[in-house]
Structure 1
Amino acid sequence: MQTKGHNGDGSLQDAVERGACVLVLSPSIHDATDDACLDLLSLDDPSEQNVLWVAYTRSPDACIQDWVSSVGERPRNLRFVSVGETTRSASAVSGGDGTRGEVVDALSSPGDLTGLGIKLSEVLKAWDSNDNETVACFDSLTALLQYADLQTVYKFLHVLTGRFDAAGVTAHFHLDPDACDDQTVSTLTSLFDTVLELDDDGEWAVRTR
């Protein structure tokens, strides 16, 4: 892998190829993690974007509030798959002007990877007919690993990243390396062409194959 440094205060968009699946290695709770997430989700004009957000650890309400604070204009289409305890009322994410579509799908069982895969495939299929750029966030693999073993998660991600690649989706997946052993991090890293890792100085190391 090639490695280069990237200042934590700058945009990461130029470090990620469109249509790539990216692993973001950083603490689950960190300002730089939140900033990187929103940066990677706002690649284009929001009016020309489909945004898919898989949330294990945060409510849709919190995600949309962060988006509005950082980006401002809501994306053309916004779809949440809210997993387990993060499930909340969709009242705060309804499209007020009638020109944006925001939908929350609830998945009550965090370990139901078959059900999750079906929901994500349905979203991609629904968006296949529009010309918008599709971006996705999976938050987080750290949480997912609490409900499924490494081999199961690896197989799931192998299929999912393949689907994203085929659909031209630019997707990033969060993983807290301090919450996992080295073997887990190494195994999951092998699935991604680009890895962003936050170092102790608050800078991003960008590794590409």
Structure 2
Amino acid sequence: MNSGSGTTEQPLDEAASVLVLARGSSDAEREGCAGFLSEQEVGAAKAICVTVSESPDSRLSLWQQHLDDEMPEEAIIVDAGSDLPANSQAAASGAFPSLTLDTLPTTVEPIDIGVAVSRHLGRLEEDGSPLLLCLHSLTGLLESWERDRVIALVTALNRQCAEMGVSGHHHMDPEAHTEETVEMFRPLYDVVYEYIPDCGWTVTESKDAEETPTFRDTVTPPGGVRRGDPEEPETIPIPYSFDQVLELISAPRRRSLLYHLKDRSEQEVPLDELVDRIYEREKAIPARETPKSRDEVGVSLAHNHLPRLDDLGILSYETAANTVEYYPNPALESAIRYVERLELG
């Protein structure tokens, strides 16, 4: 559906997460951001803006230019990488009723951005005002960190926005990335708000995209639907490429680890207990080579498989405490269940 620059013909106010695709620093991108905020009745809301590729002053100036008198009731700018002085001319202008500038250290990591946003959202949530989140931009994040780490941050932010009723939008410059990268991010959002030259803005619900990489929450096994399964299983986007999923399940020990973690009721497990369970599992699989020893299993988990899964955001491996915390992911688990049925019957 086409629409004029900076406006939308179909409402976005029910979407917890929106991907804004437009060339970076273009008039379309700036007007699109302001148009999205206007759709959310920003004057009655409290807003958090995370700046990575632009200075806080640049984002504040955009709001001042395009939102007229509809300034947020309260605004927080989280500076996560502009490398500019902490003082802000826009902040000192008095245009905002209440404005906080939170400058993160130069050694900032994706998890630090997520923690800062969570902290501010938790405080703002207390009075019940509508909450908005703008992240500018994914392109800036991808210039500094691996794609998987950015996907993990996006997934965490979008999940929190959905749980808290926050309306969030993240900017991305499609011209700065390969088509594969852009297509990997699309299914992570409820809606894609995209500027197409000569056509204007289009609004697409991600669930309607037919070619995005997805797995089913209930996967139909070979030979048909299982008894008790719904006829049309729910399709859930997965935040990893198919190549990454194939790489994840390529190692037998990593498969055993994932099989075990997805079946646990407790998400946190001591490393020693996890090593014991994987060692016992592998000894019980006839088609597998019997592990040499429990210590051999422990070394490979601690130095290979757990750090790799930690990097992808599938779990958190705390080496100091020797604990593992698994993050449930219905889409990934559906793929693991399918592979487990093929391998173990």
TM-score w.r.t. length of structure 2: 0.55
Q: Offset of 1:207 from its aligned partner?
A: 1.1
More strand by share: 1
Give 1:41-120 correspondences, 5 Å limit. Answer: 41-42=37-38, 43-44=40-41, 46=43, 48-73=44-69, 74-88=71-85, 89-94=87-92, 96=94, 100-109=97-106, 112-120=109-117
Q: Deviations over 1:104-148 (max 9, x none)?
A: 111233751111111000010011111221111110000100111
Of 118, 125, 150, which aligns to 1:121?
A: 118
| Structure 2 residue corresponding to 1:147, chosen from 136, 144, 148 | 144
Shift of 1:10: 5.5
Pick from 22, 26, 40: which aligns with 2:36?
40
Change (3 A) 1:188 1:110: farther
The alignment status of 1:194 with 2:191, answered yes or no, reads yes
Aligned counterparts of 1:161 and 1:6: Cα–Cα separation in 2: 25
Q: Residue 126 of structure 2 aligns to a residue in which SS?
A: coil
Relative to structure 1, the CA distance from residue 18 to residue 94 in structure 2 (aligned partners, 3 Å threshold; closer, same or farther) is farther
Checking the alignment, whether the CA contact within 8 Å between 2:19 and 2:189 is kept in structure 1 is yes
Structure 1 residue 189: deviation in Å?
Answer: 0.9
Identify the residue that residue 18 of structure 1 maps to in structure 2.
Answer: 14
1:161 and 1:110 map into 2 onto residues whose CA distance is: 24
In the superposition, relative to structure 1, how do residues 100 and 19 fare at CA in structure 2: closer, same or farther (>3 Å)? farther
Letter in 1 for 2:91: V
Distance in 1, matches of 2:82 and 2:4, equals 31
1 CA distance for matches of 2:143 and 2:118?
A: 23
* C-alpha distance in structure 1 between counterparts of 2:23 and 2:15, whole Å: 25
Q: What one-letter code is carried by the residue in structure 2 that aligns with 1:15? A: P
Amino acid in the other structure paired with 1:93: A
TM-score (norm 1): 0.88
- The farther-off stretch of 154-163 and 11-20 is 11-20
C-alpha distance in structure 1 between counterparts of 2:3 and 2:36, whole Å = 15
Pair 115,10 (structure 1): closer, same or farther in 2 beyond 3 Å = closer
Q: Distance in 2 between matches of 1:10 and 1:155?
A: 29
Q: Residues of 1 paired with 2:42 and 2:26: CA distance?
A: 26
Closer, same or farther: CA 17–154 of 1 in aligned 2, 3 Å: same
Distance 1:45 1:174 in 2: 18
Q: Structure 2: how far apart are the matches of 1:81 and 1:156?
A: 15
CA RMSD of aligned residues (A): 2.1
In the TM superposition, what is the alpha-carbon distance from 1:77 to its structure 2 partner?
0.6
Secondary structure, counterpart of 2:54 in structure 1: coil
**d(CA) in 2 for partners of 1:86 and 1:77?**
24
Residue 168 of structure 1 corresponds to: 165
Alignment CA distance shift 1:138-1:45 (3 Å)? closer
Aligned length: 203
Larger helix percent: 2
Structure 1 residues 29 and 10: alpha-carbon distance in aligned structure 2, compared to 1, 3 A threshold: closer
**Separation in 2 of the partners of 1:152 and 1:61?**
27
**Unaligned stretches of 5+ in structure 2?**
208-345
> Residues 78 and 10 of structure 1: is their aligned pair in 2 closer, same or farther, counting only changes over 3 Å?
closer
Q: Aligned partners of 2:62 and 2:45: how far apart in 1?
A: 17
Residues 69-111 of structure 1: per-residue CA shift (max 9 Å, x gap): 22223311100001222544135314748x8220011123375
**Secondary structure of 1:129's match?**
helix
